[in-house]
Chains A and B, each alone.
Chain A
């Protein structure tokens, strides 16, 4: 859908919550003084009884959401990813996940996409933190349409779900109406030489890389692994078997994220040569998203180099 104007994944958050309300889902959101940025404000404007602002108190945000979930509501929490996961990790672990409560952890501004705010705000550990929790499912949407699908799938999935959204506008990958399947993935391009398993905004980078690689005679297969946990094991194993070479692509630390989880899968079931595109155990820094993706070797150029150096 190259013609559509880029949109941020976070823009789908509040808009989809309203759609869910209209569809009869008992949805509420709890934010922590960032309702405008995360777009949950749209839900509050639509129905003030469905948005609760905890103020700058992320731990309380999670606890309030847990309490609301105990009243048969589907409670979404927001804030920025760095605060909405790390600042309240124990609350997510011990109250939400241990109790298997119907709370959806859906922060925005994850990864490098928060840009000029710098390393303090660039959360590149959240997929790892959330994936390691029992009962938690992890969805990493690639664009606006898939973010809408992820927010909807979260409502339809009992128990804790993490949805990772970004600040920056990103190119559209999917058509309107795209639906995610639980534990699924999407094969976006077929190839025989290398498999690019990507999530989030790196899906588009992988597609761009695959286009360039094709011009160099390398046929790359591109899989959007939007469900990082559980992974679509069958799809990844089948592609790895076909190409014999897997490169994971994520706007996240290479430790504990998509790459680690694909590596664990392949090491156990089908050892395959791998490379890992992602942030190499470093903090971020201020800059524009495009500059940062280049600086941290998390862009199409880095993927192309990794594929060619094979």
Chain B
């Protein structure tokens, strides 16, 4: 991973650096949400380590200075309500000025409540209505792989991050069938399996059973990550998925919703609620206490 990627950007994997990046993302997430006074902390924090690993760990080939470079890998945030985690990563990488973060959800902001590709650089496609990202990613992966075959080169990778509750949308499984049928080798699905949705634990609302086995039965290769909030574990799995050459691959991350903020962890109530100013100071203190050491 040490060599310059197709975009001429070197992103060596340095656990401490990615952890530091994720820590700042967490600070940004809770701060921008407190400023916005609404939004979705829980699912942003559970996905934080994965998204940090993608953007800062060198998994995703991208260049903030050239957000539209055709050679880039694509990342689609299908669970669009977790927009703060994407905005935090994009700001951290320099896609736009950090000051934008404090405009989240406000009138005329580039940072809409859910990601808007027409307003924010680095957002590949507008999302927000759950279940649609995997289909879009399939079409994208298909088009890119056909183009790459014509050029005789390797296709760009398409990563798509879904929530576990999102998998209750039937369309996800339409896309899972199609991607396997077309054997889309450059497609990587990631499931943020924090086991919470708005109405409670998935196992109480509508159980999904074994997510990895479900995808496997659809013809996908599945990789499970025991601690989806561990950056080294995310890195290992995401690299393995990226390099898997036999067909579409899913990475199931077992995560904790609200990870990093004591009073938000595993609480359905923090799916879609912003912290108050008092709660923000507790949250920031919690985040400051997180380890930055390489494991």
Query: Which chain A residues have a beta carbon within 8 Å of chain B's beta carbons?
Result: 28, 30, 49, 52, 54-55, 57, 59-60, 62-71, 73, 75, 90-91, 93-95, 98-100
Contacts and interface: CB of A to CB of B under 8 A. Distances in A.
Nearest to B176: A60
14 contacts: A59-B131, A59-B174, A60-B177, A63-B134, A63-B139, A65-B139, A67-B139, A68-B139, A69-B139, A73-B143, A91-B129, A94-B126, A99-B118, A100-B118
Contact of A60 (B126, B127, B135): B135
Nearest to A30: B139
A95 to B, nearest CB: 5
Contacts of A66: 125, 132, 135-136, 139
Interface string B131-173: 1101111111111101100000000000000000000001100
A99 B134 contact: no
A91 B128 CA distance: 11
A67 B147 contact: no
B178 interface: yes
B178 A71 contact: no
Nearest to A66: B136
Nearest to B170: A59
Given A54-B178, A60-B175, A99-B117, A67 B135 contact: yes
Interface of B: 74, 116-118, 124-129, 131-132, 134-144, 146-147, 170-171, 174-175, 177-178, 181-182
A68 B140 contact: yes
B75 to A, nearest CB: 12
A229 B286 CA distance: 54
Contacts of A69: 139
A64 B135 contact: yes
A99 B124 CA distance: 10
B37 to A, nearest CB: 24
Nearest to B126: A99
A122 B182 CA distance: 32
Nearest to A49: B146
Contacts of A70: 74, 124-125, 136, 139-140, 143
B140 A62 contact: no
Contacts of A62: 135
Contacts of A64: 135-136, 138-139, 142, 175, 178
A57 B178 contact: yes
Contact of A71 (B128, B131, B147, B174): B147
Given A73-B143, A90-B129, A95 B174 contact: no
Contact of A68 (B118, B143, B177): B143
Given A54-B178, A63-B175, A94 B128 contact: yes
Contacts of A100: 118
Given A55-B178, A73-B143, A99-B117, A67 B136 contact: yes
B84 to A, nearest CB: 19
Contacts of B118: 99-100
Would you list the 6 A-B pairs with minimal beta carbon distance, nearest first? A67-B139, A63-B135, A71-B143, A67-B140, A60-B174, A57-B174
A91 B136 CA distance: 10
User: Which of A30, A93, A98 is most buried by chain B, counting CB atoms within 10 A of its CB?
Assistant: A98
A54 B175 CA distance: 8
A198 B127 CA distance: 37
Given A59-B171, A63-B135, A98 B140 contact: no
A91 B174 CA distance: 13
Contacts of B74: 70
A30 B135 CA distance: 12
Nearest to B74: A70
Contacts of A75: 139
A71 B125 contact: no
Contacts of B181: 55
Contacts of B144: 71
B117 A67 contact: no
Given A57-B178, A63-B175, A66-B135, A95 B147 contact: no
A99 B136 CA distance: 12
A59 B135 contact: yes
Contacts of A94: 126-129, 132
Given A62-B135, A90-B129, A95-B132, A52 B140 contact: no
A146 B92 CA distance: 52
Given A66-B139, A71-B147, A95-B136, 12 more contacts: A30-B139, A55-B174, A59-B170, A62-B135, A67-B139, A67-B143, A68-B143, A70-B139, A73-B143, A90-B129, A94-B132, A95-B127
A254 to B, nearest CB: 30
B171 A71 contact: no
A237 B132 CA distance: 42
A63 B146 contact: no
Contacts of B174: 54-55, 57, 59-60
B143 A63 contact: no
Given A57-B177, A94-B126, A52 B132 contact: no
Contacts of A95: 125-127, 129, 132, 136
A63 to B, nearest CB: 2
A28 B118 CA distance: 23
A309 B140 CA distance: 56
B136 A63 contact: yes
B48 to A, nearest CB: 25
Contacts of A67: 135-143
A60 B178 contact: yes
A152 B177 CA distance: 32
A67 to B, nearest CB: 2
